[in-house]
Structure 1
C-alpha cells in the first residue's frame, strides 16, 4: 500500500474495522487483509413505506397485501374467480329481442320487428311492374308488346305505361259495396262470371175428399182432416223464401136452425147458420190464408207444408160431405 512502508512482505499500515465490518489477515502476501461487511437486518416496517400501488393494483402498507383494483365503471365484467385469480366471464348470448330493435327499414325494404322478417317494399305507384317471382326474388316482367285493346269493360293498351285494367262504374247505392256487393269470378272456361241469377218458382197442390154426411162436431178447433205436401227448392245455389197460400172449402148440409164452422189449425175461417125453415144443402165458402215459411229453404232442400182442417160449433144436426183444399207456394231466391 502506498506510503505505508509496504515494500517488505508485510504492510505496516494500520487497518481498523468499523461497525458491521470485520478485518482478517495481517496484510502480508501470504495472509492478506480480508474485509467483510455484513448487511444489517431489514424489517417489514423498513420496507413497506417504499412500496406503493399504480393503476390496476391496490396496496395496504399496514398489512403489506397487494390486490387487484377492479374498476367500478358501469359495464365492467372483470371479477375475482373462485381460485382468487382474475376472471372475465364469457359474454352472454344475444337474443333476437335484443337485436331486432336495432334494425329498421329504409327505402325499398320493409321490416317486421316482431317477427324479424325483412321483405322488399314494392311501390304502389301506378305503372309499377316489379313483383316477387316464384323463387321469392324480385322480378321485373319483360315489357309486353304494345297492343290495342278492343272490348267492353277493359281499358289500357297493354303496355307498361298503360296496362290493361278493368273499367269499373260508380257504386250508386247507400249500402257498402264491401258488404253488399256481388262478386265476379273466372269460370273453368276462362270467362268472367257473375253471381247466380235469381229464381222464382211456383207450385200448387190440390186435393178433394168426399164424406157420407158426417156430423160437424161442437166446440172449437175439433179435428177434421189433415193434408200434407212436399216442396223442394229448385235453386242449386241460393236459399229460397217461401210464400204459402192455403185454401179450404167445406160443403155443409144445414137443417133449419143448424150451424157449422171450419178453420185452419186453430183459426176459425168460416161460420154459417141456417136461419130459415128448410134444409140448406152443400153450403160452402172457399177461404184463403197466406203466410211465409218461418225459415229459408236451403238450395235443393225439401220441406213439408201441412194443412189441418178443423171444425167448430156444429149444432142442429149440421153435417159435411166434402173437403177441398189447395196449397200454393211461391219460392223466391235472389
Structure 2
C-alpha cells in the first residue's frame, strides 16, 4: 500500500490524476487531509503460474502447496515426523545381518553380536576367553584351540640269565620323543613309567633290586633254603614335564638293576613309557 500526499499541487488542492491499474484500487482526493491511497491485491491464482517444482521439491498447482519430496527408492530413510517436519530416524533399518549378528540397525534394535548366555558359575570378566579380528581376512577368531596327544613306547625282552651286579647299573634304556603341536602355548605332559624285571634268586641270600632312572623301586632277598625263579613285580613312577610352544622333548626311561648278592641273575625286562600331552592354559 502506498500514499501519495502531493503532486504538483498548490495550496490545499492537487491536480494529479491517479488511475488504478490491474488488481489495484485508488481512493482519496489527493489532498493533505484526504490523500490518494493505492491498494493492490494479488490472488494466489495469479502467482501459481510463476511457481514450479525443482529437485527435492513437490508442488501442487491446484492447491498451491509446496512440500519436500522424499525419494520412494528402497533404502531411503527420510520421512516426515509427527510434527510434519522432515525426519531421519536414528539408526534406521538399513542393515541386513548375517550369522552371528542380530538387529537391523534401528534405534530399538541396534546391530550386535548374537551371543549365548554365560552358563558357568565363575565370572565372565575374569574367566572368559578372547575374540580377535584376523587382520588378513577380517574374520573373527577365538583363542587357539586346545590340543592333546598320547604316546607310548615299551619293550618286553627275554634273554639268557645275566648276573646282577652289586652296584646299581643301567642295563637298558627306552625313550619317547614328544612334540608339542601347539605353536602358541606350552604343553603340560603327564609321564608314567613302569619297569618289571624277572630275577632268579638262589637260596640262602640271593638278592637283587631294580630301579627307574636311578631310583630303586623294588628289592628282594631270598632268605629261604629253596631257590626262587622268575620273581618279578611291576612298579610305576609318575611325574610331569612342560614342553615349550612348538618344542620337542625326549623323555627317557633308564632301567637299572643292582644290589646283587648270592649269585642272583635276571632273565627278562618289561618296561613302558606312557605320556599324555595337554595343550591348555597353565596357571
TM-score band, normalised by the shorter chain?
A: 0.5 to 0.7
Residue 185 of structure 1 is matched in structure 2 by 132
- SS at the partner of 2:150? strand
Please give the TM-score of this superposition, normalised by the length of structure 1: 0.49
Residue 186 of structure 2 is matched in structure 1 by 239
- Is the Cα contact below 8 Å between 2:192 and 2:273 reproduced in 1? yes
Q: CA deviation at 1:308?
A: 1.6
Residue 247 of structure 2 is matched in structure 1 by 301
Q: CA deviation at 1:245?
A: 0.3
Residue 10 of structure 2 is matched in structure 1 by none
Q: Which runs of 4+ in 1 moved over 6 A?
A: none
Residue 326 of structure 1 is matched in structure 2 by 272
Counterparts of 1:226 and 1:281, CA distance in 2:
24
Counterparts of 1:230 and 1:319, CA distance in 2:
32
Q: CA deviation at 1:181?
A: 3.7
Greater fraction strand: 2
Counterparts of 1:230 and 1:172, CA distance in 2:
38
Q: Where in structure 2 are the equivalents of 1:72-221 lying within 5 Å? A: 146-147=93-94, 153-159=100-106, 163-166=110-113, 177=125, 180-187=127-134, 188-219=136-167, 221=168
Tell me if 1:313 matches 2:278: no
Q: CA deviation at 1:284?
A: 1.2
- Is the Cα contact below 8 Å between 2:153 and 2:175 reproduced in 1? no
Tell me if 1:281 matches 2:222: no
Counterparts of 2:100 and 2:196, CA distance in 1:
57
Counterparts of 2:169 and 2:271, CA distance in 1:
17
Residue 261 of structure 1 is matched in structure 2 by 209
Residue 129 of structure 1 is matched in structure 2 by none
Q: CA deviation at 1:160?
A: 6.6
- SS at the partner of 1:305? strand
Length, aligned pairs only: 189
Residue 49 of structure 2 is matched in structure 1 by none
Change beyond 3 A, Cα 1:145–1:174:
closer
- Is the Cα contact below 8 Å between 2:154 and 2:174 reproduced in 1? no
Where does the alignment leave 5 or more consecutive residues of structure 2 unmatched? 1-89
- SS at the partner of 1:243? strand
Q: CA deviation at 1:208?
A: 3.3
Counterparts of 2:268 and 2:230, CA distance in 1:
9
Aligned mate of 2:175, from 219, 222, 228: 228
Change beyond 3 A, Cα 1:309–1:170:
closer
- SS at the partner of 1:229? strand
Residue 60 of structure 2 is matched in structure 1 by none
Where does the alignment leave 5 or more consecutive residues of structure 1 unmatched? 1-142
Counterparts of 2:123 and 2:110, CA distance in 1:
31
- SS at the partner of 1:228? strand
- The answer to which structure, 1 or 2, has the higher relative contact order (CA under 8 A, 6+ apart) is 2
Please give the TM-score of this superposition, normalised by the length of structure 2: 0.57
1:43-76 Cα deviation digits (max 9, x unpaired): xxxxxxxxxxxxxxxxxxxxxxxxxxxxxxxxxx
Counterparts of 1:283 and 1:170, CA distance in 2:
58
